[in-house]
Amino acid sequence: MVGGGKDAFIGAVHRMAAYLDGQIELVCGAFSSDAKKSKESGEGLYLPANRVYGSYAEMFEKENLLPPGQRMDFVSIVTPNHLHFEPAKMALEKGFNVVLDKPMTLTLAEAKELKTIVDKTGKLFCLTHTYTGYPMIKEAKELVRQNKLGAIRKIYVSYPQGWLSTFLEASNNKQAVWRTDPNKSGIAGSMGDIGVHAFNLAEYVSGLSVTEVCAHINIVVPNRKLDDDGTVLLKFNNGATGMLYATQIAAGEENNICINIYGEKGGLEWKQQDNNTLLVKWLDKPAEIYRAGNDYLSPLAKFNCRVPPGHPEGYLEAFANLYRNFALTVRAKNSGATALEEWKDFPGIEDGIRGMAFIENVIASGKDNNKWKTFDV
């Protein structure tokens, strides 16, 4: 692991998700840019001292010298956005597979360069768009793919949060400080932090690609440097239209990312606060309620369920599905076996490029009086 040391939020989440299925073991790490803090973090995780490194460069260099059965199989990079590209690039070039937190890089140009390196090295790459890991999101994807809803006409996706309703970055809240800092977060605030998740979910479930955007971007809290609220009109490559909103100033909201998709024959509705339920609505018959864990689900959804119906699975399990599927794919590649399609169902380098394109196109539209922008990748 790179980053994710003591006092970090997302590193612990990644570790819990990686451990869940017994397929992955944390064997080494460079947990902080401060070598002393990295060592302390490694001690807290009970790693041997010689596998806790003062920098990611040192880690990649020394791990590469170990025999194949001892060195790490992949690295998980859980640093702030501005520290995604360099360690990912170095890991790939040193021969390691990569799991990277989203958004993939600081800029679209970096994302494109990273794809070139992935293609050149042939290494496996996973981008942790967590919400694609939910079983009922995978069921929704399959219903659309099988044309059960007919041609898709309308897509609504939203991600409301309320945690930045005040100028929290002035209180030395570590998460607020870096996520609202253009030098560390990039050109977008809420759109880069959570809007890109909503965008990814819309394309993942629908199987469509955004072709045009029209954005209104806000900075609501005084003195904030990056957007904390925004709404985007969307056009898709089949002629469907939609709307995305992402806000971090919706007081009282937590993390209820939601998606609604409507086709010729019916629609579907999913929300994270009831993530084990998928509501499917029909034009000519009563609505149906699909629940996680049941035998009537598609093979893709069932593969990503762990417990029988009625036993709730949530965020960590969805996150764990990405890690488990990636681990199974890495193991298959290492042994020369063919990975099953269910194993390969995790976000990758193309999702990362489209996510960075979303951020840059939306911010450009938000600043331009000529609102509609062709979605350039």
Q: Angle CA(154)–CA(215)–CA(179) in degrees, nearest 5? A: 110
pLDDT tier at 27 (50, 70, 90 boundaries)? Answer: very high
Residue 271 has pLDDT above 90, yes or no: yes
pLDDT at 370: 83
Q: Provide the whole-model pTM.
A: 0.95
Residue 6 has pLDDT above 90, yes or no: no
Helix (H) or strand (E) holding 50: none
Starting from the edge strand earliest in sequence, which strands make up the sheet with 373-374, in order? 288-291, 277-282, 266-271, 258-263, 152-160, 241-247, 229-236, 210-218, 373-374
**Orientation of helix 10-19 relative to helix 315-335, angle to 10°:** 60
pLDDT tier at 100 (50, 70, 90 boundaries)? Answer: very high
Mean pLDDT of the chain: 96
pLDDT at 369: 85
pLDDT at 348: 98
Please state, as a whole number, how many other Cβ atoms lie within 10 Å of the Cβ of residue 296. 10
CA separation for the pair 41, 29 (Å, rounded) = 9
CA separation for the pair 150, 263 (Å, rounded) = 5
pLDDT at 372: 84
Q: Which tens digits make up the pLDDT trace of 171-195? A: 989 999 999 999 999 999 999 999 9
* Percent of the chain at pLDDT exceeding 70: 100
- Both structure tokens of 51: 């596998």
pLDDT tier at 68 (50, 70, 90 boundaries)? Answer: confident
pLDDT at 69: 87
Residue 73 has pLDDT above 90, yes or no: yes
Residue 314 has pLDDT above 90, yes or no: yes
Beta strand 210-218 pairing with 373-374 = antiparallel
**Three-state SS at 151:** coil
Q: Which tens digits make up the pLDDT trace of 213-222? A: 999 999 999 9
Can you list the domains of the chain with their CATH numbers? 10-128 (3.40.50.720), 133-308+354-367 (3.30.360.10)
Residue 127 has pLDDT above 90, yes or no: yes
Given the structure tokens 């021969």, which residue do they identify? 95
pLDDT tier at 120 (50, 70, 90 boundaries)? Answer: very high
Q: Which tens digits make up the pLDDT trace of 326-342? A: 999 999 999 999 999 99
Residue 323 has pLDDT above 90, yes or no: yes
- Both structure tokens of 116: 């070139």
